[in-house]
Structure 1
C-alpha cells in the first residue's frame, strides 16, 4: 500500500483534481470532507464515464466542462451489489493481500482505500484514510515473494549439495 495518496474535496473542480493526479503521478485521488474523512474515490475511469454519459462524444468535451464541473458530480461513493447500493469498497492495514486482491478482481477495481482501524466500530461510521492499495502493487509484492522463495530454495539446495 502507498501512503502517498492524494486527496481532494468534493467541491474542487475537475481541472483541479486532474492537475493533482497529473502532478502527483497517480491514477486516482481520494475525495475527503473538511474533516479528512473519506467520501469516495475519483479515478480516470470515473471521469471518462461521467464525460461520456454527459455528452456521448469525447471530442465534444470542452475546457469549460473541466473548469466548471465539481468532483462531487462524478466520484465513486459506493458500489451496487445485487441491486442495492453499498458503501465504498475499502480495506484496513491488516487485510490479507489475497483477500484484497480477490475483492479488487471481483469488482473490477484497481485502487482500494486503506482506512484507519476505528476505535469503536459500532459508533464510528466515518473513517480516515491512511493509504491506497494498488492492484499492480499486489502483483509486484507477489513477484518479490516468489523470487525470494526461489532464492531460498536454491540456497538450501546449494548448501545441501544437491
Structure 2
C-alpha cells in the first residue's frame, strides 16, 4: 500500500520527482463507496438493483474480471491530493469511443450477444435518431433473469425470456432521487475526472455516458452520445499521466 504525499507538496512537486516513489509499487486509489459497500454488501445490492447500471461492489468486480486496485488512504490530506491530480485531467482523456449502441426494440438475447461479440459489459440504448435513451448492463440482465427464474420454475424459462423480452423493458432510463424520477446520469468530455469520479461513487455506478455539450436543439440536450467513461479508466488515465 502506498500513501500519497501530503498537502501542497503532493500537488506542486514536479511529477517527475514523484515517479521513483510511485513507480515502485503503483499509485493506490481510495474508493470510499467501494470500501463502504464491502461492509454492507446486502444493502448495496438492494440499491443497485433498483437503480440499474453496474454497481461498484467488490464481488461484481471479481466477476467482471476487472478488479480495481484499492487501498485505504489514512487521512484527508491524501484524498485531497488525489482529487487535485484528477481535477487536472478531463473525461476526454479517459473515455472510450468503442461503446456499443443498440435499439430499444431488440431483444435481450441480441443485446447480450452484442456485448459478448464486442467484449463489453454494457450497451448504450438509443432511439431511431441515435439519441441516448438508456443503458443496459450485464448486471441488469442478470437481475432480470434472476427475478424471472424465481417467478417461473420452468427449465427453459431463461432461454425464452431473453429471446422474447425487449431491451426497452429492462434497460435503465433514469434514476430516482428524493422520490422523483431523474434523467440518465451523463457527463461532458471537458468534465474533470474528479467530478466524474465523485458522481460515479455517489451513485455506485461503473459506467457514465459522455454526451456532446452545446447541442443546437433541446431534444438533443444531454442525449447526443460521444463516448462512454468506465470507472476503472479513471485510474488507468491517472496512472498513465504520472508515468508519461
Deviations 1:37-79, CA, capped at 9 Å, x for gaps: 0000000111122222333379854211111111011000011
Distance across 1 between alignment mates of 2:233 and 2:152:
31
C-alpha deviation, 1:121, in angstroms: 7.2
- Where does the alignment leave 5 or more consecutive residues of structure 1 unmatched? 149-162
Q: In the alignment, which residue of structure 1 is the partner of 2:196?
A: 100
Distance across 1 between alignment mates of 2:152 and 2:199:
31
1:45-60 equivalences under 5 Å are 45-56=139-150
Q: In the alignment, which residue of structure 1 is the partner of 2:130?
A: 36
Q: CA RMSD in A?
A: 2.1
1:6-25 equivalences under 5 Å are 6-25=100-119
Q: Does 1:129 align with 2:225?
A: yes
* Counterpart contact for 1:118–1:124, Cα < 8 Å: no
Aligned residues: 148
TM-score (norm 2): 0.56
Distance across 2 between alignment mates of 1:24 and 1:124:
27
Deviations 1:106-144, CA, capped at 9 Å, x for gaps: 101000000011335767446210100000100111122
Q: Which structure has the highest strand share of the two?
A: 1
Partner-residue secondary structure (3-state), 1:66? helix
TM-score (norm 1): 0.83
* Counterpart contact for 2:212–2:222, Cα < 8 Å: no
Structure 1 residues 133 and 126: alpha-carbon distance in aligned structure 2, compared to 1, 3 A threshold: closer
C-alpha deviation, 1:11, in angstroms: 0.5
Distance across 2 between alignment mates of 1:52 and 1:96:
37
